[in-house]
């Protein structure tokens, strides 16, 4: 049987309905565009009315009468002012338009496909370290749910992880340094090299927070820091670990940077400092920076073991007692420092017995700066003289009571030559330049919780004061102003901090070495 054709109205009805819907949708969009200002003002009036209704409902009943009186007074004043109702209407429409303006669509929640792939890769890489076969409900398992292990995360503009909160099982040995080091090394490799990471371990909550650290500023030149007597700025660190900031001048602009402040004096718990680094790491730069700060309130004795003349610019300045680079002069200067420490101890003891304050010459700080004592000790042994380090025993042991501070700077290859007294009494430590984790822990007494920088600039390293935390450190640029490679800006910055000359340099150079 041949099928009969459908009626014309049924065969063409669907197409006509589709065209009608398209025309209706286009008309609705056009009407919405034309009426958008009206819709915005209407929505704003509705929001303002709701806000007024909430304000009225929140107002206590005993205050509603004065509120009505205030509103009525305002309306009366508006009605009596020329063009008052018109201006009030315009102001109301403007407020409604501002209140009813379109809101931005909220940012999509959750990571995108590439970010999810990164997080899953991190999760799978941590499975061998955070799982065990005996766990009945493992938090980490191949193909498991990574959202349970990473409850919080942030990404930077390049799509790499910049902050990640990691949960781990309670049976993980987070109290062992080797176990933590393996996890930190893995996260450093998987999250992207070339950046510095901070690892915050919460052993009580079984959580690890990975944070990408911004680079420390390397353009801070030597300048007069805003500190009190007894405070020395070793360098600058991260704002997350130091609550204090110092106002610094950089060209014509000023900024606040968190410092690492080392406190010395009778109440200091770490009265002496040991600086360790490799060649070109900035150890001499830090000693120069300390010398310029110490000259504000005290006297400085410099003993240079390298013999390169890095401290010649201090010669003949007020407060600089001597700058020695020869074994004979170094031994004579340190012998005087030993006797001076003993004299200060006796004077302070006598004044305390008499119930009087210590004299001014005892309260004035004395700084002994010894750069590369290993090289100086080798020259002294070849000359048949005593190792200058042996003369630091009294200043190191009694320096806090006598207001004497000792700063020793040495390179890694000379650490074995340091005397036991230097190792025992220098509880404030600084390591500059490239160093292995074992070297850092051997000097600082604890490993840092950050990864090293990819390119280590001069003066970059770590600092630890006593038993405190390990801080990242960037030493302010304090070069030798007599060096031809020093820029004019840095040369002028150092020369401006020097005290005036107490005698011409030529006279000091012409004086015999044995003259007192």
**Residue 314: its pLDDT value, please?**
94
Question: Distance between CA atoms of 373 and 375, rounded to whole angstroms?
Answer: 6
Residue of 355 and 100 predicted with greater confidence: 355
The answer on whether 284 is annotated among ligand-binding residues is yes
- The yes-or-no verdict on residue 516 having pLDDT over 50 is no
**Residue 182: its pLDDT value, please?**
92
- The yes-or-no verdict on residue 58 having pLDDT over 70 is yes
CA nearest neighbour of 336 among 325, 351, 322, 348: 322
The answer on whether 281 is annotated among ligand-binding residues is yes
pLDDT band at 309 (very low <50, low <70, confident <90, very high): confident
The answer on whether 377 is annotated among ligand-binding residues is no
3-state secondary structure of 462: strand
CA nearest neighbour of 150 among 118, 119, 179: 119
pLDDT tens string 456-496: 889 999 999 999 999 999 999 999 999 988 999 999 999 99
The answer on whether 514 is annotated among ligand-binding residues is no
Residue 280, number of CB atoms within 10 A of its CB: 11
Question: Distance between CA atoms of 22 and 30, rounded to whole angstroms?
Answer: 12
Range from 4-8, 129-133, 444-448 carrying the lowest mean pLDDT? 4-8
Kind plus residue range of the DSSP H or E element containing 233: strand 231-236
pLDDT band at 509 (very low <50, low <70, confident <90, very high): very low
pLDDT tens string 412-452: 988 988 999 999 999 999 999 999 888 999 999 988 888 88
Q: If you average pLDDT over residues 241-263, what whole number do you get?
A: 85
Question: Distance between CA atoms of 503 and 505, rounded to whole angstroms?
Answer: 6
pLDDT band at 508 (very low <50, low <70, confident <90, very high): very low
Strands 207-213 and 196-202: antiparallel
- The yes-or-no verdict on residue 261 having pLDDT over 80 is yes
3-state secondary structure of 275: strand
> Running DSSP on this structure, what letter comes out for residue 6?
P
- The yes-or-no verdict on residue 387 having pLDDT over 70 is yes
The answer on whether 279 is annotated among ligand-binding residues is yes
**Both ends of the chain: CA-CA distance in Å?**
135
pLDDT band at 383 (very low <50, low <70, confident <90, very high): confident
Rg over CA atoms, the chain: 36
3-state secondary structure of 130: coil
Greatest Cα pair distance in the chain: 136
State the helix-helix crossing angle for 36-58 and 84-99, rounded to 10 degrees: 100
Is 192 buried (19+), middle (13-18) or exposed (0-12) by CB count in 10 A? middle
Find all residues with CB under 8 Å of 213, minimum gap 6, and list them: 195, 196, 197, 198, 238, 450, 472
Helix, strand and coil content of the chain, in percent to the nearest 5, comes to: 45, 20, 40
Mean pLDDT of the chain: 85
Residue of 71 and 516 predicted with greater confidence: 71
pLDDT tens string 149-180: 999 999 888 888 899 999 999 999 998 988 99
Is residue 208 within 8 A of residue 153, CB to CB? The reply is no
Range from 209-213, 240-244, 267-271, 421-425 carrying the lowest mean pLDDT? 240-244
Q: If you average pLDDT over residues 329-356, what whole number do you get?
A: 92
- The yes-or-no verdict on residue 512 having pLDDT over 50 is no
pLDDT band at 339 (very low <50, low <70, confident <90, very high): very high
Strands 428-432 and 273-277: parallel
The answer on whether 30 is annotated among ligand-binding residues is no
**Residue 215: its pLDDT value, please?**
87
Q: If you average pLDDT over residues 308-323, what whole number do you get?
A: 92
Residue 62, number of CB atoms within 10 A of its CB: 7
CA atoms within 13 A on the CB side of 470: 22
Q: If you average pLDDT over residues 241-250, what whole number do you get?
A: 84
**Residue 11: its pLDDT value, please?**
43
> Running DSSP on this structure, what letter comes out for residue 501?
B
The dihedral through the CA atoms of 326, 332, 336, 341 has a sign that is: positive
Q: If you average pLDDT over residues 400-409, what whole number do you get?
A: 94
The dihedral through the CA atoms of 332, 335, 339, 341 has a sign that is: positive
**Residue 108: its pLDDT value, please?**
52
Put simply, whether the predicted model's pTM sits higher than 0.85 gets the answer: no
Q: If you average pLDDT over residues 372-383, what whole number do you get?
A: 83
Residue of 9 and 454 predicted with greater confidence: 454
Question: Distance between CA atoms of 156 and 255, rounded to whole angstroms?
Answer: 25
The answer on whether 420 is annotated among ligand-binding residues is no
């Amino acid at each position: 049987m041949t099928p009969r054709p459908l009626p014309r109205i049924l065969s063409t009805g669907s197409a006509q309905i589709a065209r009608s819907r398209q025309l209706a949708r286009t008309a609705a969009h056009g009407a919405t565009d034309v009426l958008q200002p009206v819709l915005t003002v209407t929505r704003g009036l509705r929001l303002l009315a709701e806000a007024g209704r909430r304000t009225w409902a929140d107002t206590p009943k005993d205050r509603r009468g004065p509120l009505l009186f205030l509103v009525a007074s305002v309306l009366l004043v508006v009605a009596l002012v020329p063009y008052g109702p018109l201006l009030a209407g315009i102001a109301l429409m403007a407020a409604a338009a501002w209140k009813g303006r379109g809101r931005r669509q909220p940012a999509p929640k959750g990571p995108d496909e590439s970010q999810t792939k990164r997080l899953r890769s991190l999760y799978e890489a941590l499975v061998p370290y955070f799982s065990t076969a005996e766990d009945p409900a493992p938090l980490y398992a191949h193909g498991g749910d990574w959202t349970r292990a990473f409850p919080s995360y942030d990404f930077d503009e390049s799509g790499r992880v910049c902050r990640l909160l990691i949960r781990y099982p309670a049976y993980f040995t987070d109290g062992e340094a080797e176990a933590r080091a393996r996890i930190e090394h893995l996260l450093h490799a998987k999250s992207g090299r070339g950046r510095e990471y901070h690892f915050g371990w919460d052993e009580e909550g079984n959580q690890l927070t990975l944070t990408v650290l911004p680079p420390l500023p390397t353009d801070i030149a030597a300048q007069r820091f805003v500190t009190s007597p007894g405070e020395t700025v070793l360098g600058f660190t991260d704002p997350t670990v130091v609550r204090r900031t110092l106002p610094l001048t950089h060209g014509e602009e000023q900024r606040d940077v968190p410092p690492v402040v080392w406190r010395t004096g009778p109440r200091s718990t770490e009265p002496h400092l040991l600086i360790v680094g490799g060649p070109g790491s900035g150890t001499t730069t830090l000693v120069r920076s300390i010398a310029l700060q110490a000259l504000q309130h005290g006297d400085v004795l410099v003993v240079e073991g390298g013999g390169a003349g890095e401290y010649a610019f201090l010669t003949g300045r007020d407060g600089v007692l001597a700058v020695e680079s020869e074994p004979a002069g170094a031994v004579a200067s340190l012998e005087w420092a030993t006797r001076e420490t003993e004299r200060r101890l006796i004077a302070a003891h006598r004044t305390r017995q008499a119930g009087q304050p210590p004299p001014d010459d005892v309260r004035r700080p004395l700084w002994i700066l010894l750069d590369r004592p290993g090289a100086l000790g080798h020259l002294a042994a070849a000359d048949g003289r005593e190792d200058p380090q042996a003369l630091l025993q009294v200043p190191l042991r009694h320096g806090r009571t006598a207001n004497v501070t000792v700063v020793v700077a040495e390179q890694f290859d000379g650490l074995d030559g340091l005397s036991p007294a230097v190792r025992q009494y220098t509880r404030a430590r600084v390591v500059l330049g490239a160093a292995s984790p074992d070297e850092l822990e051997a000097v600082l007494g604890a490993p840092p919780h950050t990864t090293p920088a990819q390119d280590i600039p001069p003066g970059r390293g770590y600092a630890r004061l006593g038993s405190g935390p390990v801080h990242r450190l960037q030493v302010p640029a304090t070069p030798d102003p007599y060096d031809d490679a020093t820029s004019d800006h840095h040369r002028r910055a150092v020369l401006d901090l020097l005290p005036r000359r107490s005698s011409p340099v030529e006279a000091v150079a012409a004086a015999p070495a044995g003259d007192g």
